[in-house]
A and B are shown apart, each in its own frame.
Chain A
Amino acid sequence: SQTIHQWPATLVQPVGSPLSLECTVEGTSNPNLYWYRQAAGRGLQLLFYSVGIGQISSEVPQNLSASRPQDRQFILSSKKLLLSDSGFYLCAWSVGHGGETQYFGPGTRLLVL
């Protein structure tokens, strides 16, 4: 069966510090991978998606970047965190081109102080 992991679960970082959040998927090959941010009362916003190794599409301009160094690994990064980067970050995966279910990880809660 397929599983998706995210770490860390919780992170408190000062403004201006770097960030690295990791997501890994097990039990499937060549998944589509997604990073979402969830801010209080604002739903989920798609940040990045990837359809293959090294292929990253950004949905919104921002202070963050994403990388996919391996087929089932998706990393969200920042060189310098802003207060507005605080939120709940969710990674998800799917297979196929449309209509398929996205499966979500447990999330990482990031607080930037």
Chain B
Amino acid sequence: AQSVTQLDSQVPVFEEAPVELRCNYSSSVSVYLFWYVQYPNQGLQLLLKYLSGSTLVKGINGFEAEFNKSQTSFHLRKPSVHISDTAEYFCAVSAGGTSYGKLTFGQGTILTVHP
């Protein structure tokens, strides 16, 4: 079974500052890792995902994440945030094999960007 821990429930930051949203996972098998973003009263949108290969993954809206197998982490970063980045961010893990893509989500991190 997999589990995901997002270490910060809320992250306030000023516009144009860098941000890091932290995610740790546990799994006994190889995993795929995802970051989704959710704007108020909307569904989730994929930001980026790690399947294999390069551990640095670039996504939409200037976000990137780094897979660290030894630390079982997949932290999300953006060098300069905008007001429009204010949203809730979810880290998720999916096991390989015949898991049929089932995702286990973290509790979410609310990013608030202040002017």
Contact = CB atoms under 8 A, between A and B. Distances in A.
A40 to B, nearest CB: 10
* Interface residue tally on A, bucketed by range: 20 to 34
Nearest to B50: A99
A49 B102 contact: yes
B97 interface: yes
A29 to B, nearest CB: 16
Interface string A22-44: 00000000001010100001111
A43 B97 CA distance: 25
A105 B38 CA distance: 11
B83 to A, nearest CB: 23
Contact of B41 (A36, A43, A109): A109
Contact of A104 (B44, B102, B104): B44
Given A41-B9, A98-B32, A104 B100 contact: no
Interface in A84-113: 90, 92, 94, 96-107, 109
B43 A90 contact: yes
A96 B90 contact: no
A109 B42 CA distance: 10
Interface of A: 32, 34, 36, 41-46, 49, 51, 59, 90, 92, 94, 96-107, 109
7 contacts: A34-B103, A59-B102, A98-B98, A99-B101, A102-B101, A102-B103, A104-B36
